[in-house]
């Protein structure tokens, strides 16, 4: 399926420029009465606010990482309460299945015995962590924070693009986008009832505390572990620690004391219970993983296995992010929930399979090809937008390492208007809702992070590839 010229527009439906769809009706009445010049001023004001606040991310290229501002568009994406209820049911089902899959993979491996997922897909996967075999995390929770990337192609057509079970990022932008909109357009929120997202940090802390380990006594002590100021998402690490009212720590601030992980304070070392870690598995513990790591905590895995600390998310959850595993998610959901998947997968060719590889190489100009462990839009080929030279170069990489790639049809992503100097113009979007999992509940934040491809016609929404963000409104009624 190649790029379609016609796209579903979330503001106007199938008739761009016609009557607005119901979720946008009140907003359209409002924006039609606004002065375009004033809106442009507000847009510039928002950019200044983000710059002052330091809301940047690092882009890694051939040279040193450079700091960039993520562009913010002030036309919100609006979702009705009914649309959101359907999405939320599908998200909850998928997250339950992911946690059940992770527990099974590191214990009885019944899904492998049943032949529903190939054994070699796990055994040969670099994201699989043998050190997690037989380990049961506190409360049975592997993925405390999950981001599910969803795209829309029609009025009632949604697809999961990928699952983010390791360390999903972007929630700070969701919160700052809403804060900015509330600051700039308080009157707008007074007559359009939008579900709040500002409680996310409070819910995050509650959810993490509810997953405290058996060794915890009293109120759980939660900290955020960051690789440091040079990490691309450092702003978010700092922001979330501040919003939760917990300490932001680096590996050198922590050590093992009396079988617990303790942090250095002015009063000596204090035991901690929950480590919300934004450090990758490989760098988490130099005694158990990469011995040259300076970012982690020596011995933290041993304390974790003994029930002395909770690691959020659990090591080894990256297997659920794997895009080859993604292609089996409909079977995974049904295996663990006993129900068909509510949210559909994008049809996927696994290039490691000879027939699939032959098809992909023949139709490369029509497809999107992704690295199975890739993220951030890196290592991605959008066939319809690639030159003949780019296609030829990518075909060589693909033929050399087919197991490293999956391919998907180029979906016609829905559009939402953005504010340009010429007025409103449609641009493609995706959505990353954020999910909090604790032993007693699954909470889905109403909305999430909408990423928008700011270049006309582009389907690549990642901020690292020139995309921007929008505030996402879920209506109260």
Enumerate residue ranges in the chain where pLDDT < 70: 1-5, 15-17, 54-68, 374-378, 463-465
Residue 343 near residue 330 (C-beta atoms within 8 A): no
Cα distances (angstroms) measured from residue 90 to each of 1, 93, 184, 226, 435: 25, 5, 33, 31, 12
CA distance linking residue 272 with residue 293, whole number of Å: 21
Predicted confidence at residue 375, as pLDDT, reads: 58
434-450: per-residue pLDDT in tens? 999 999 999 999 999 99
Q: In sequence order, what E strands does 290-357 have?
A: 310-312, 344-345, 349-350
Task: Report residue 292 as tokens.
Answer: 């040259």
pTM for this model (two decimals): 0.92
CA distance linking residue 141 with residue 145, whole number of Å: 10
Predicted confidence at residue 32, as pLDDT, reads: 92
Predicted confidence at residue 63, as pLDDT, reads: 46
Query: H or E element: which one contains 239?
Result: helix 234-244
Task: Report residue 334 as tokens.
Answer: 């049904």
Q: How far is CA 24 from the centre of its chain?
A: 26
With CA atoms as reference, report the closest residue to 91 among 454, 474, 348, 445: 445
Helix/strand/coil (H, E, C) string of 83-96? HHHHHHHHHHHHHH
Task: Report residue 182 as tokens.
Answer: 């509330």
Residue showing tokens 């919300």: 276
Residue 383 near residue 364 (C-beta atoms within 8 A): yes
Predicted confidence at residue 3, as pLDDT, reads: 39
Residue 73, judged by CB atoms within 10 A of its CB (0-12, 13-18, 19+), counts as buried
Predicted confidence at residue 1, as pLDDT, reads: 29
13-61: per-residue pLDDT in tens? 876 667 899 999 999 999 999 999 999 999 999 888 887 776 655 554 4
With CA atoms as reference, report the closest residue to 159 among 38, 8, 376: 8
Strand partners, 163: 148
Strands 254-257 and 260-265: antiparallel
Class for the domain spanning 347-410: alpha beta
């Amino acid at each position: 399926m190649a790029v379609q010229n016609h796209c579903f527009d979330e503001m106007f439906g199938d008739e761009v420029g016609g009557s607005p769809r119901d979720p946008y009706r009140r907003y359209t009445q409002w924006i039609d009465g606004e002065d375009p010049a004033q809106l442009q001023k507000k847009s510039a004001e928002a950019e200044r606010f983000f710059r002052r606040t330091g809301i940047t991310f690092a882009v890694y290229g051939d040279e040193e990482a450079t700091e960039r501002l993520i562009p913010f568009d002030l036309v919100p994406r609006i979702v009705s309460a009914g649309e959101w209820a359907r999405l939320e049911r599908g998200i909850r089902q998928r997250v339950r299945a992911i946690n059940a899959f992770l527990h099974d993979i590191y214990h009885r491996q019944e899904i492998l015995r049943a032949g529903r997922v190939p054994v070699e897909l796990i055994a040969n996967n670099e994201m699989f962590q043998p050190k997690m075999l037989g380990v049961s995390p506190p409360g049975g929770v592997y993925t405390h924070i999950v981001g599910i990337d969803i795209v829309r192609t029609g009025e009632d057509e949604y697809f999961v693009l990928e699952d983010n079970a390791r360390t999903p990022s972007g929630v700070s932008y969701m919160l700052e986008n809403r804060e900015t909109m509330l600051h700039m357009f308080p009157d707008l929120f007074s007559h359009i009832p939008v579900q709040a997202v500002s409680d996310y940090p409070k819910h995050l802390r509650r959810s993490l505390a509810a997953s405290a380990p058996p060794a915890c006594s009293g109120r759980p002590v939660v900290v955020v572990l960051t690789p440091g100021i040079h990490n691309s998402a450092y702003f978010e690490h700092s922001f979330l620690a501040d919003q939760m009212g917990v300490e932001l720590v680096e590996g050198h601030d922590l050590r093992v004391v009396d079988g617990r992980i303790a942090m250095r304070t002015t009063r000596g070392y204090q035991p901690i219970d929950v480590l919300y870690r934004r450090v990758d598995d490989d760098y988490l513990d130099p005694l158990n993983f990469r011995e040259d790591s300076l970012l982690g905590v020596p011995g933290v895995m041993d304390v974790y296995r003994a029930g002395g600390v909770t690691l959020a998310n659990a090591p080894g959850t990256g297997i659920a992010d794997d895009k080859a595993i993604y292609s089996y998610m409909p079977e995974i959901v049904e295996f663990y929930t006993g129900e068909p998947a509510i949210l559909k997968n994008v049809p996927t060719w696994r290039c490691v399979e000879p027939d699939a590889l032959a098809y992909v190489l023949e139709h490369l100009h029509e497809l999107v090809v992704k690295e199975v462990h890739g993220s951030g839009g890196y290592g991605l080929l959008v066939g319809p937008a690639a030159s003949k030279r780019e296609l030829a170069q990518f075909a060589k990489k693909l033929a050399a390492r087919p197991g490293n790639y999956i391919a998907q049809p180029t979906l016609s992503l829905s559009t939402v208007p953005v504010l340009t100097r010429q007025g409103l113009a449609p641009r493609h979007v995706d959505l990353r809702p954020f999910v909090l999992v604790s032993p007693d509940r699954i909470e889905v934040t109403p909305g999430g992070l909408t990423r928008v491809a700011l270049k006309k016609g582009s389907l690549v929404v990642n901020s690292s590839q020139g995309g921007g963000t929008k505030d996402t409104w879920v209506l109260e009624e």
